[in-house]
Structure formats: C-alpha cells, structure tokens
Amino acid sequence: MNIRKRYAKVCLFLWVLGMCLLAHPIKAQSVIPVPLKMEQGTGSFLLSEKTKLYTNLQGGEAQLWENYLQTLPVPLKKGKKKDTRQVISLLITEKNDRLPSPESYTLSVTPERVLIQATSGAGLFYGMQTLLQLFQPSATGYSVASVEIEDTPRFAYRGFMLDVSRHFSTKEFVKKQIDALAYYKINRLHLHLTDAAGWRIEIKKYPLLTEFAAWRPEANWKKWWNGDRKYVRFDEPGASGGYYTQDDIREILDYARQHYITVIPEIEMPSHSEEVLAAYPQLSCSGEPYKNSDFCVGNEETFTFLENVLTEVMELFPSEYIHVGGDEAGKSAWKTCPKCQKRMKDKHLANVDELQSYLIHRIEKFLNDHGRHLLGWDEILQGGIAPNATVMSWRGEEGGIAAVTSGHHAIMTPGAYCYIDSYQDAPYSQPEAIGGYLPLKKVYSYNPIPASLTPKQAKLVYGVQGNLWVEYIPTPEHVEYMVYPRILALAEVGWSAPERKSWPDFHTRALKAVADLQAKGYHPFDLKNEIGSRPESTQPVKHLALGKKVIYNAPYSPHYPAQGNTALTDGIRGDWTYGDGCWQGFIDGDRLDVTIDLEAATAIHSVTAAFMQVIGAEVFLPASVTISVSDDGTNFTELKHQTFEVTKANPIKFTDISWEGNARGRYVRYQAKAGKEFGGWIFTDEIIVK
C-alpha cells in the first residue's frame, strides 16, 4: 500500500473514531496509555476547513506528514512557520528536560492552535496518536478540549509477539494489527515466524521451507498436533498453511516503519524445528524426517543453513535484534549423536546445555559480525549466556533477573502476566484456550522491574512484551479477541509512569477503547460483560480444618507447592488457574493423599475438595476419591469411595467432590487418584471440613 493510501486509512480511522465518540461521549482524559502529565485548560480547539498544518520535519518523514495533511477528513491547508492561529504545528525541537527520549512529546491545545513538539518523528507520531484519541466530533467538525500534555515512555521496548506458525496470519491482518498497536504506542512487533507447525518466511536458498514445511494436511493445529503431525507440498489438494514472500515481508516492514514499529523476526533454533528437519532431514541427528525437533549441533551443515537463513532475514529486516528462539530444546538426541558427541569432545563441552550454548554463542558472533544483536528466550542462559545477548524472560522473571545481574539486557514477558493466550475470563464462558487465567486486571498489575533489582540493574530492563501463541486460536477474529483489550493494559504497563496508573481509571478507559475497537472493525473481548474471578477465590472459607496440620502421605510437586504445607487448610481458594499460587499440584504416586489432624475428636458433616481439568496442561479430574476418618490416625473408616470416568470431553472443568453425612473423628484423610489412561496432574486448593 502506498503512503497516500495508508493515510487515507488513517483518515477513515479518524472519521470512524469520531463517529464512535459521537455515540459514546467521553472526557478528554480518555487516553491509553495514560500520559505522564495532563492538565485541562479552558475552551477548545476546533478542527475546521480553515485549520492549517505546519511541520518543520525534513526529508522522508516530512513527506509522510504532508500526505497526511492532504487526507485528513477536514482537508488541512499547508501552514507556515509564522502561523499562530488555526494551526496544528508539529515541531522537531532540541532535546530538553521535558523531552528526555526520542519518543517523548509535548502536546499543547488552546482554542488558537495545537502544538506537538518532540525531538524525533516518533515523538511527533505519539503526540499525534494522543491527539487522535482526544478528538471529539462537534457541530462544525471536530474539537479537542484545551489541554497541556507532557509525555514520555517508561520503557524503550514495548512489544507484542504474534505466533504466525501454529495458525498463519495474512499480511493484511498483520497490518491491521499494526494500526491498533501503534495507536496505543506499542513499538515492537515480534513475529514468531518458524515452529513445528509451519515455516512462514520465504528463504530463497531453501525453497522446501515454503514449498513443503509451510503446509499441513490439517488446518486446525489441535487436530494436526493430536494426529500425525505431517507436512504436505503446497500443491497437494487440501494443503493448509501459508508464508510471507520476501515482498510481503517488505510490505509489512514498510507499513510498520510508517507506524514507528520495529518488526523483530524470530527464527527458532535449536529446537521447535520439526518442520525444517522434515524438509531437510540431513540437519537432524537421525538424518530422517519426523524423528527430531532439535537441529544437530555437531553438523557443520546446520550452521551453514542457519547462517544462510539469517543472512536473508537480515537483508530484509532492519531490526537491531534478531530473535533466535532457544526455548524448550529437548537435547536428548544430542546425548547419543556421534557428531554432537564429537563436537562436545572437541570443544570441551561438559554437557548438552553447553552444546546449546555453543550454538547460541556461534550464532551470536555471526549476528554481531553483521551489526545485529541476538535476542532469545531465557533458556539461552543455560550452559552460559553469549556475551552480548538479550534475554526474553518468559518462565517467570528469574531469567530476566539473572540476565541483568550479569550485565545483560532483559525484556520481561513472564507467562503469569504477559501470555495473552491464557483465558481472560471464567473458562466456562470462553472459547477453548491453552489454560491459565489472565484477566485484564492482572495484566495491568504487572511491574516489569522486580523489587530485588538495584537501580543500575533496573536500567537494563529494556521493556515488556505481551505474547500471543495461537495453538488454540485458529481464526483472525479469535486472535483479536485474545489481544484486545489485554495488549492495551500492557501498553500502559510499558509506557506510563507507575504513579500515573490506576486500575479503576484504566478499566473505564478500556471499556471505551473496546467500543472504539469494535467500531473500527476489530473483535475485542466484551469487557463490559466480564464474569471475573472464580467466586470461591474472592473470599476466605471458614471450616473445621482451618489452620490444622496436614500430613502428606504423598508429596506435592515442588513445581506447584502453593503455600506449602499449610495450603490445603489456609482457607484460601484458587482462581481459574492452577498457576495462581493457591492450587497445589500432585504428580507423584497415586497423587493426592493427605490426612488432616483436627487435634480432637470432632463431629463432621461434610468433607469437600475441588479439582480441575485442563487437558492442554495434562491436568485431569480424579479417577477415584476416597474420604475416611480415624480417631488414632492409623485405623481409618471409609466414608466414601467413588470412581469416575476421566474423559477428554471437557477441555476445562472445575468440580467439587464431597462426602456429606454424620461422622466423628480426629483425623480426616482425602485421597484422589489419577486415571490410568491419561495420568497427568491432580490439583486441589483446600480440604474443607464442616
């Protein structure tokens, strides 16, 4: 799309925004992300046919704004430097205290004029996005209430990652998202271009990547993943998938550039590479397709391949960062592969973690030699981080903390706050998701600077990113449903000063933004009808076992301890996810087997525990439950024994399993066994005795 068309779109956008504002009048403060300083004045500026636009921008960027001027809904005349009335001025100015970053801007609206000042085109662009959000339709055109704004981003990196491998997104769809992301001042779009489910970028040297590794016989990822996980040639009937040609990539990049968004390409290595190894099996340890997911690191041809791919990628993408994945490598084939073993011996590598580190170091050197920086998931710390690498911390914040304490940059994207593929509302009300529970409020609550960091370390936290993995998200509408409005919360986390944040205020602005997005043809989650947290989790439960000792006849998993030995009698119930620190997880032996000591013989009338099923995470409801009582803790009387059929009919489900009646005893034992067929985890949050 040429620049003129792009600005025609901006106009349309402005017009639709105006129409939307007509329907939902708002206060002028309704800006996302909330600016640093904002003071209302009196009166308002009217945008009319007399309004002129002046900019002192030079070169290509000036051209962008000139075109913009000509395509606004109220056609603006070109203004002059000396104009002081009826003018919107966009001025590049010297750096000063109010404009500490190239993205900072000041916006001054008086009845006479609008003045946006910044030290770069990016700053002017962000001032303009704020102005667009402030415009309201008036009888004679549009108006903006007088206001003085000073604004600057908290973080330089404010990202969104889109997985285009599991289900492919067209370039038109990506551009549509760029419009919205830029509007909320997100400045990085990380494209997860390669993964087992499909390779998505044309690489001229390796045509099979897009003739074969980009296509599946089954469009739906879940069906494909649960099936034979095969690929097909693009010209086979029923082949489903797709990829960006290099021209498509240039088009996306040009569009992103005009919106001051840097696109970061991710090329996965050494793992998540089944699709490459099916097309080019000589790059795997077995030498056969459909056997391995990790590249063979002992094979020089692997490096030739990766460097050739990265060369084409660097020719296309101007991004300083090239993301090389690095996550979740199984590394098991390396342990017996003669080539990998030889490499380890030759390079004195003690283990397979160091072999992965060898690959990452070597690739980093290649990228650095070409003037680029390596970015990778936090597993790139394993076996020793490469000297100049930046860590994207996803398995919690630990990777990011380790990175900055060793002088590296980090980008925070911990799953608990930034993985917007999780459920955003009560799972029973939502389309199937991968699991978890990440409502808007929790995203909004995130602070990317962990409390343990020194000010110097905190400076190395480059920013924050929301990630959308699309295994369970097969359509473009569904992608938008998961992204909006949660990415708006992250936009504010990334841009706004912590002292300016307020959840109730943001919630009001987000409701408005959802309506705006709908009016513009997006498909956001319907925030106004949000159900919210699991009711049980919102207040403590009182019962006879509260605070009593729990004897673990089988251990809980150290990975999901909740609050440890007191978790099942602390009165605190879990929310819609096992990862919230309230649900305790059992994976060993028969799973849950606990005895509660009530300290004295007690009359009891019910014993209840809640369980959940999240099939995507291999969490299942129990196949049997036994509840018993005892006076001495040794001889138990069974109150209930019940078996259940464990099925995969419900991808996500919460169930209470209780005994009710009249009994007496000092000790209450609750056992819940996993089924033989699926095994998996059992989670519970409280043993409630009444």
Two structure tokens written together for 460: 């190395």
Q: How far out from the chain centre does Cα 187 lie?
A: 15
* Smallest separation (angstroms) from ligand ACM to the CB of 415: 7
Q: Cα–Cα distance between 658 and 689 in angstroms, integer? A: 10
Residue of 155, 305, 321, 394 interacting with ligand ACM (CB under 6 A): 394
Nearer to ligand ACM, 394 or 586 (CB): 394
* Smallest separation (angstroms) from ligand ACM to the CB of 324: 12
Contact residues for 73 (Cβ-Cβ < 8 A; gap 6+): 11, 14, 15, 18, 142
End-to-end CA, the chain = 67
* Smallest separation (angstroms) from ligand ACM to the CB of 319: 18
Contact residues for 455 (Cβ-Cβ < 8 A; gap 6+): none
Nearer to ligand ACM, 328 or 353 (CB): 328
Nearer to ligand ACM, 296 or 391 (CB): 391
* Smallest separation (angstroms) from ligand ACM to the CB of 268: 9
Q: Kindly state whether residue 417 participates in binding ligand ACM, applying the rule CB under 6 A.
A: no
Contact residues for 414 (Cβ-Cβ < 8 A; gap 6+): 393, 394, 395, 396, 397, 400, 446
Which DSSP category does 217 fall into? S
Q: Binding string, 115-144, against ligand ACM, x = CB under 6 A?
A: ------------------------------
Residue type at position 553: N
Q: Cα–Cα distance between 179 and 195 in angstroms, integer? A: 26
Nearer to ligand ACM, 394 or 506 (CB): 394
* Smallest separation (angstroms) from ligand ACM to the CB of 403: 15
Query: Nearest CA to 432 among 165, 164, 651?
Result: 651
* Smallest separation (angstroms) from ligand ACM to the CB of 377: 4
Nearer to ligand ACM, 394 or 620 (CB): 394
For the annotated catalytic residues, the residue numbers are 195, 272, 328
**Which residue lies nearest ligand ACM, judged by its C-beta?**
327
Return the SS3 of 447.
Answer: coil
The CB density around residue 19, as the number of other CB atoms within 10 Å, is: 12
* Smallest separation (angstroms) from ligand ACM to the CB of 419: 7
221-to-67, 241, 321, 330 alpha-carbon distances in Å: 42, 10, 29, 21
Class of residue 207 by CB neighbours under 10 A (exposed 0-12, middle 13-18, buried 19+) = exposed
Segment (H or E) for 143: strand 141-151
CB 54 within 8 A of CB 87: yes
The CB density around residue 347, as the number of other CB atoms within 10 Å, is: 12
Residue of 112, 179, 254, 328 interacting with ligand ACM (CB under 6 A): 328
Nearer to ligand ACM, 396 or 431 (CB): 396
Number of alpha carbons in the 13 Å side-chain half-sphere of residue 210: 16
* Smallest separation (angstroms) from ligand ACM to the CB of 328: 5
Helices (H) and strands (E) in the chain, counts: 18, 28
Q: Cα–Cα distance between 569 and 563 in angstroms, integer? A: 10
* Smallest separation (angstroms) from ligand ACM to the CB of 306: 19
Residues touching ligand ACM, count (CB under 6 A): 4
Nearer to ligand ACM, 183 or 377 (CB): 377
DSSP state letters, 648-660: SS-SEEEEEEEEE
**How, if at all, do strands 636-643 and 592-614 pair?**
unpaired
| Site of tokens 């001889």 | 635
Q: Kindly state whether residue 83 participates in binding ligand ACM, applying the rule CB under 6 A.
A: no
Q: Binding string, 339-378, against ligand ACM, x = CB under 6 A?
A: --------------------------------------x-
Nearer to ligand ACM, 126 or 446 (CB): 446
Q: Kindly state whether residue 327 participates in binding ligand ACM, applying the rule CB under 6 A.
A: yes
Nearer to ligand ACM, 376 or 675 (CB): 376
Question: Any bridge partners for residue 669, and if so which?
Answer: 595, 628
Q: How far out from the chain centre does Cα 290 lie?
A: 29
Residues that bind ligand ACM (CB under 6 A): 327-328, 377, 394
